[in-house]
């Protein structure tokens, strides 16, 4: 079984490059890149990407917890509240992740923070009546 990275290895007040974060957490650089793709916030779009320690901790904590949180059909997982929350206005963005999965992304109606949820595309018809979809962020080919 893979060892879980320990968020306590990260100092909240400092920033990390992807390499430094991987080193501190004893995971591969590819793993940290995958976290960024999965929603770990980075501080700027320019290289080198910097990750705030506090954000990294929050992200890892959320991942530990999210497996145990049962989401209601109209909820996403809020990284800040660390709980299932409805997105503000039930507005969600759909970001395709793989050919079979997508990430719903919205803003928590309680704290305004980022909340998201992975869905399989086979579920999308079931959640379509619940949410207001905002495809603005998705470029059409």
| Closer by beta carbon to Zn ion, 15 or else 75 | 75
Residue 111 sits in the site that holds Zn ion (CB under 5 A): yes
Q: How far apart are CA 107 and CA 100, in angstroms?
A: 24
Q: Is 121 in the site for Zn ion (CB under 5 A)?
A: no
Closest Cα partner for 29 from 14, 8, 43, 48?
A: 48
Nearer to Zn ion, 91 or 110 (CB): 110
Of 22-30, 53-61, 111-119, 123-131, which segment contacts Zn ion by CB under 5 A? 111-119
108 counts as binding Zn ion under rule CB under 5 A: yes
- List binders of Zn ion among 30-89 (CB under 5 A): 78, 80-81, 85
The footprint of Zn ion on this chain (CB under 5 A) covers a number of residues equal to 8
Q: Could you tell me the smallest distance in angstroms from the CB atom of residue 116 to Zn ion? A: 11
Three-class secondary structure of residue 28 per DSSP: coil
- Cβ atoms of 117 and 127 within 8 Å: the answer is no
The site for Zn ion (CB under 5 A) is made up of: 78, 80-81, 85, 108, 110-111, 113
């Amino acid at each position: 079984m893979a060892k879980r990275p320990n968020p306590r290895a990260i100092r909240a007040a400092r920033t990390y490059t992807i390499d430094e974060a991987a080193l501190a957490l004893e995971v591969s650089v590819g793993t940290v890149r995958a976290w960024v793709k999965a929603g770990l916030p980075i501080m700027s779009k320019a290289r080198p990407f910097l990750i705030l320690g506090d954000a990294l901790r929050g992200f890892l904590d959320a991942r530990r917890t999210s497996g145990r949180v049962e989401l209601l059909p109209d909820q996403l997982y809020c990284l800040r509240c660390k709980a299932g929350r409805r997105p503000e206005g039930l507005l969600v963005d759909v970001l395709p992740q793989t050919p079979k999965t997508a990430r719903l992304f919205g803003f928590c109606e309680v704290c305004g923070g980022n909340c998201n949820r992975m869905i399989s595309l086979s579920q999308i018809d079931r959640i379509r009546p619940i949410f207001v979809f905002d495809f603005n962020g998705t470029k059409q080919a």
